[in-house]
Amino acid sequence: MKIESYGVSDIGLSRLNNEDAFAQLPKENCFILADGMGGHNAGEVAANETVFELCRLVKDETPHTPAAWAKILNEGIKKANAHVFNLATKEKKLKGMGTTLCLALIAQTSLIYAHVGDSRIYRFRKGRLTQLTEDHSLKAELIAKGELDESDAAAFPKNVITRAIGTSKTVTPQIQTTSIESGDLYFLCSDGLTDPLNNTQILDIIEDSLTIEEASESLILAAKKRGGGDNITLLLFKIT
């Protein structure tokens, strides 16, 4: 099994700083992305601290079964949450900071993936694009409950998230496992990509791209052409 990866982050057209963070750990086959929030660069701190803590966790572990990794990541994400929450409590300028999180790790023939918030993980397999994660947002939860229909959803605020790293003492990450296949393309992304682009537009760009580098840069460009109102971060990896 060979894994090719590519990550890119763009500040966008409206923000003064980039509060997204990402990391690629090719030796461990692990990929992490965070989208921070909070004033005075606090979101940047939250995202970077979360990514750093989880990189350290994964690097310190020896290879495990998918089930064991799921437990390790669950506890590790909870510890990262406590770390960011404590920083926000101790430093006035960091008060209220938080971040979303997406993490994907390959173990044996499985992908273990975890997320908190509305950053997403997608899979492109045999011409089909599948959103693997469910947004932890008020909008998504109301739609799931049948309390918000699709006709009203377009005008509903997108960025009211119901779960984040660092905004409360505890957090419950959503951790899932799926099988991998040769030819699979996975990508993690912040909402700077998925707010301006829908899944059909994303699929069209991926299908028109010859490499993951081309796909990444084309997706960034398309998001900026449609406003670029937020930081845009993408982390792609392909299995062959």
CA proximity to 80, closest of 113, 106, 103:
103
154, pLDDT greater than 70: no
pLDDT in tens, 28-54: 999 999 999 987 679 999 999 999 999
Q: Collapse the DSSP code of 213 into the 3-class scheme (helix H, G, I; strand E, B; otherwise coil) and give the result.
A: helix
Rounded to 5 degrees, what angle do the CA atoms 94, 98, 103 make?
140
136, pLDDT greater than 90: no
**How far apart are the C-alpha atoms of 119 and 22, rounded to whole Å?**
12
Q: Where are the beta strands (DSSP E) in the chain?
A: 3-10, 20-25, 30-37, 98-99, 101-107, 110-116, 120-125, 128-131, 174-179, 185-189, 232-239
**How far apart are the C-alpha atoms of 197 and 82, rounded to whole Å?**
33
Q: Give the chain's mean pLDDT.
A: 94
What is the pLDDT, as a whole number, of residue 144?
Answer: 74
pLDDT in tens, 5-32: 999 999 999 998 999 999 999 999 999 9
Half-sphere exposure of 151 (CA within 13 A, CB side): 0
149, pLDDT greater than 80: no
What is the pLDDT, as a whole number, of residue 150?
Answer: 67
Q: Which domains does the chain have, with CATH numbers?
A: 3-239 (3.60.40.10)
Q: How confident is the model at residue 160 (pLDDT cuts 50, 70, 90)?
A: confident
Which pTM value belongs to this model? Answer: 0.93
151, pLDDT greater than 70: no
